[in-house]
């Protein structure tokens, strides 16, 4: 099928708009479809780990972080009871806190300024197939006229986010809700450590905060379970499990935000990537793969995927050879698995750790000791260290440290020490099975030694 486009992108969100902004200046002809191009107010994607910032810079898109009051983040702090620790990001790297909606508009504008991008206002409804079941484009309903229209392209990228319509045709993914995040904006709020991401461990469930503009802080409060919290339950969760643990310096802004009542609630998913490789289409972003947002790893994964996919696509002379495109899609899926495994495992493993009283105390003490273990752990969190051996080593060291620390205090703690080891295994085993191969860990070991 002859087409005026090389790529049709479904969803001009973080993934779709960014890959369009990267590929369009290289002359690739793109149809960029979304049913809403207006600025959204969302509680997602507001902390970019250094890995995400680095990917943007490598794609020469670092300037998209300028000019809308995004804030530099230097590292993380953990707070438990009266104790506080800070761990800086590796030297030379920075994270960014920002308004996701403003950032996305900036990325979209950068994509749409290229003549090679055609903006399409519409809701994509169905992938188009030829008689060999290859995907040849998409059928969509135009926003203004409600007319059904088709777009043809040798490659369709489905980047329509976490409620993707197209997963069924392109993957075997199993999606589960791990918990919910309740999002609030705290105005004129002094955080315990300026320019830091904060993880508060004093209450029964974690909550986190980071700056998103010069005078605004995003607070994300975990609500465990897979059921959307009802209003009353949400209020009692805040009253009992959160308010008593908000630090004094933040309480005034917090109470004001609660009074104004503008909270948003979002589900936190885990979904390992299990793509079905079909000719003519590829999945990108949350449509393909999700992890708990506690570590802010989502955009690190998205931008890294964009780099990997683009590198493969740009190695082709053009988009005329559908067999070659297919080879490139296969290579992308293979490479991205390795690149994102640490981000995916860490996010859900850390959520498991922080929801477990014994492990939560262990992780705090483990990081409090500082040194090379704390540095290696933060470089994994930052999305800079993708070595699988490093991740498994740090997780194992944490569990052993926690168990040993308990026994060192008193032999009476032996059952709890064994429980820590068992709980750690229960947390990591299904994640490692989904995301890792033994070969990848072993090869990580040799790279780590070098």
Binding-site ranges for ligand FAD (CB under 6 A): 10-16, 33-36, 43-48, 52, 123-124, 159-161, 165, 181, 266, 268, 285-287, 293, 296-300, 302
Beta bridge pairs of residue 181: 222, 266
- Nearer of residues 209 and 428 to ligand FAD, judged by Cβ: 209
d(CA 71, CA 379): 20
Count of Cβ atoms closer than 10 Å to residue 405 Cβ: 16
Sheet strand arrangement including 135-142: 148-152, 135-142, 117-129, 30-34, 7-10, 155-158, 281-283
Residue 63 sits at φ, ψ, to 5 deg, of: -65, -15
Rounded to the nearest whole angstrom, what is the least distance from the CB of residue 427 to ligand FAD in the complex? 20
SS3 content of the chain, % helix, strand, coil (to 5): 45, 25, 30
d(CA 46, CA 224): 21
- Nearer of residues 283 and 427 to ligand FAD, judged by Cβ: 283
SS3 state of residue 87: strand
CB neighbour class for 153 (10 Å; exposed up to 12, middle 13-18, buried from 19): buried
Rounded to the nearest whole angstrom, what is the least distance from the CB of residue 48 to ligand FAD in the complex? 6
CA triplet 422, 364, 192: central angle to 5 degrees? 150
- Nearer of residues 218 and 360 to ligand FAD, judged by Cβ: 218
- Nearer of residues 129 and 405 to ligand FAD, judged by Cβ: 129
- Nearer of residues 46 and 435 to ligand FAD, judged by Cβ: 46
Rounded to the nearest whole angstrom, what is the least distance from the CB of residue 103 to ligand FAD in the complex? 10
Dihedral (CA of 12, 15, 21, 25) sign: negative
- Nearer of residues 220 and 403 to ligand FAD, judged by Cβ: 220
Rounded to the nearest whole angstrom, what is the least distance from the CB of residue 233 to ligand FAD in the complex? 18
Rounded to the nearest whole angstrom, what is the least distance from the CB of residue 16 to ligand FAD in the complex? 6
Dihedral (CA of 286, 288, 292, 298) sign: negative
- Nearer of residues 282 and 403 to ligand FAD, judged by Cβ: 282
Rounded to the nearest whole angstrom, what is the least distance from the CB of residue 35 to ligand FAD in the complex? 5
The residue number with the shortest CB distance to ligand FAD is: 13
Rounded to the nearest whole angstrom, what is the least distance from the CB of residue 158 to ligand FAD in the complex? 9
């Amino acid at each position: 099928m002859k087409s005026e486009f090389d790529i049709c992108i479904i969803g001009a969100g973080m993934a779709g708009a960014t890959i369009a902004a990267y590929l369009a200046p290289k002359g690739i002809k793109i149809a960029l479809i979304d049913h809403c191009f207006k600025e959204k107010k969302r509680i997602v994607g507001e902390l970019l780990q250094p890995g995400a910032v680095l990917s943007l810079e490598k794609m020469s898109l670092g300037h998209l972080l300028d000019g809308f009051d995004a804030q530099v983040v230097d590292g993380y702090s953990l707070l438990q009871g009266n104790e506080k620790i800070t761990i800086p990001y590796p030297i030379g790297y920075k994270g960014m806190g920002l308004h996701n909606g403003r950032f996305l508009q900036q990325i979209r504008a950068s994509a749409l300024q290229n003549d090679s991008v055609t903006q399409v206002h519409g809701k994509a409804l169905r992938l188009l197939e030829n008689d060999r079941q290859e995907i040849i484009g998409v059928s969509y309903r135009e926003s203004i006229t409600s007319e059904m229209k088709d777009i043809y392209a040798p490659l369709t990228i489905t980047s329509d986010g976490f409620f993707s319509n197209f997963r069924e045709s392109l993957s075997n993914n199993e999606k589960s809700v791990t918990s919910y995040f309740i999002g609030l904006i705290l105005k004129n709020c002094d955080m315990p450590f300026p320019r830091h991401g904060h993880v508060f461990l004093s209450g029964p469930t974690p909550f986190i905060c980071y700056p998103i503009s010069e005078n605004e802080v995003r607070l994300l409060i975990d609500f465990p379970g897979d059921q959307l919290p009802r209003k009353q339950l949400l209020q009692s969760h805040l009253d009992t499990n959160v308010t008593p643990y908000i630090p004094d310096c933040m309480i005034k802004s917090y109470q004001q935000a609660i009074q104004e009542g503008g909270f948003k609630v979002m589900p936190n998913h885990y979904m390992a990537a299990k793509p079905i490789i079909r000719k003519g289409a590829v999945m990108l972003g949350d449509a393909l793969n999700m992890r708990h947002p506690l570590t802010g790893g989502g955009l690190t994964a998205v931008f890294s995927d964009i780099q990997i996919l683009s590198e493969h696509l740009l190695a082709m002379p053009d988009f005329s050879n559908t067999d070659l495109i297919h080879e490139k899609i296969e290579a992308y899926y293979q490479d991205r698995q390795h690149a994102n495994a640490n981000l995916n495992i860490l996010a859900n493993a850390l959520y498991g750790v922080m929801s477990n009283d014994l492990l939560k105390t262990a992780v705090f003490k483990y990081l409090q000791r500082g040194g090379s273990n704390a540095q290696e752990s933060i470089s994994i969190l930052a999305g800079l260290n993708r070595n699988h051996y490093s991740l498994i080593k740090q997780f194992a060291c944490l569990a052993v440290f926690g168990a040993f620390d308990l026994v060192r205090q008193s032999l009476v703690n032996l059952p709890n020490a064994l429980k820590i080891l068992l709980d750690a295994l229960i947390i990591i085993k299904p994640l490692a099975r989904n995301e890792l191969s033994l070969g990848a860990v072993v090869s990580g070991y040799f790279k780590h030694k070098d």
